[in-house]
Amino acid sequence: MQEVHNIDLGAVLPIWSLLPFIGMLLSIALFPLFAPKFWHDHFDKVSVFWALVIIVPFLFVYKWLAVHEFLYVVLADYIPFIILLASLYTVSGGILLKGTPLGTPLVNTCMLAIGTVIASWMGTTGASMLLIRPFLRANRHREKRTFMVVFFIFLIANVGGSLTPLGDPPLFLGFLRGVPFFWTFNLFPQMAMAAIILLALYFVFDLYFYRKEGVKKQNNEESREPLKIEGGHNIFFLLAIMGAVLMSGMVKMGEVSILGVHLTFQDMLRDAVLIFIVILSMATTRREVREDNGFTWFPMKEVAILFAGIFLTMVPCLKMLQAGTKGELSFLVENMQEPVHYFWITGSLSAFLDNAPTYLTFLSTLLGKFYPGVEGQEAVLLLIRENGIYLKAISVSAVFFGASTYIGNAPNFMVRSIAEETGTEMPSFFGYQLKYSLPILIPVFALIAWLFYL
């Protein structure tokens, strides 16, 4: 294992080692567009293929160093990531909101606003899984639903998670690295601005299509049925998930090394508790509740398989970024001087890499830039006190830009998959960006960058 400490992998990797990651992204983008049946039947094989394309030569060339890097990304990043998503997905899928009112522009905007608020407290995954099916049911009488789901992804699956470490994985990782729990409340002005603009735009779009379709409210049985919750005990399981996550960032229980990968006992305890909660939720929730909720395992399976490929193939990219000016991506690092630079580069990469490790990479870059040699939480607190605007820039961009693509944040995939299962047509990978994220999100982000980081 001595080799692990002797080579800076990011400094020696050639630029062509990014090709498997690019291939993975292009597969996600192009196969659903040009070969949808093949993709639906074989997306798991495609993910395994690209993972092997990077794993096999890495093991051959770098041996134990490669073993260490892949073990680290699997044990320290991927498995906790999937366990947290699976727990939120399972528990929220056991909560059935009945008596959903018919979707009007005002009702829909209110649902999106509520989801945006609660996303910071139950996670973007939990809020998305709790509300996406009621939101779709409320609007099943509407012809144009695609834009509704897209704005749902913008607001509830991403922007809404920016106020607490429980909201989105990048902020949670920052919390584990020493960022105080309530510091993220400093992101409220940016979050409020983005949410208000997007909600206003949504209301205008919805009102236009509502009138164009000539929708008239019908006094059917569902519209008269009072609102009620079935499977409400799962709300306590959601609180337990929040407690387990909070505990893992506040207590210190020591650590263990597995083939050079350091794992803390509190993180392993958190993951064990989350798995137990999943078992309890499945055992105590009536099958009819999940069936009425349209609950299936396919969205979770799709996310788990595709993000396994993404996590493994993105190792070279992240290592090059972490190497700073020594790596093949030094041209990016060298041009990052002002907060606005960190905002745009962190955000742009978060849209195509997983936003959590991207955030950690640029947090490490900032700590090395301003406080070289200062250890751990002390460096983080110095950064907050003396150069907090930089931390705000990477925090906001990592969360917000996750909405820019389907792969920017895991709930995006889940919401899209559930929408398609219920008959709502969703845009392709590129269609999502060209029709929605580029013309709608980028101007909003540019305004935020101009007001807060220039």
49: number of Cβ within 10 Å? 15
Distance of CA 213 to the CA centre of its chain: 34
- For residue 221, the model assigns a pLDDT of 44
Residue 404 identity: S
Task: Note the pLDDT tens digit of each residue in 76-125.
Answer: 888 888 898 889 889 988 888 777 678 889 999 999 999 999 998 888 98
Residues whose CB is less than 8 angstroms from the CB of residue 72 and which lie 6 or more positions away in sequence, other chains included: 260, 261
Three-class DSSP category at 41: helix
CB 365 within 8 A of CB 332: no
- Report residue 450's pLDDT band, with 50, 70 and 90 as the boundaries: very high
pTM: 0.80
**287-291, 383-387, 446-450 — which is least confidently predicted?**
287-291
Task: Note the pLDDT tens digit of each residue in 13-59.
Answer: 888 988 998 898 888 878 877 888 898 889 999 999 999 999 999 98
- For residue 217, the model assigns a pLDDT of 53
Nearest to 152 by CA among 197, 207, 205, 113: 113
CB 124 within 8 A of CB 398: no
CA distance 275 to 259: 24
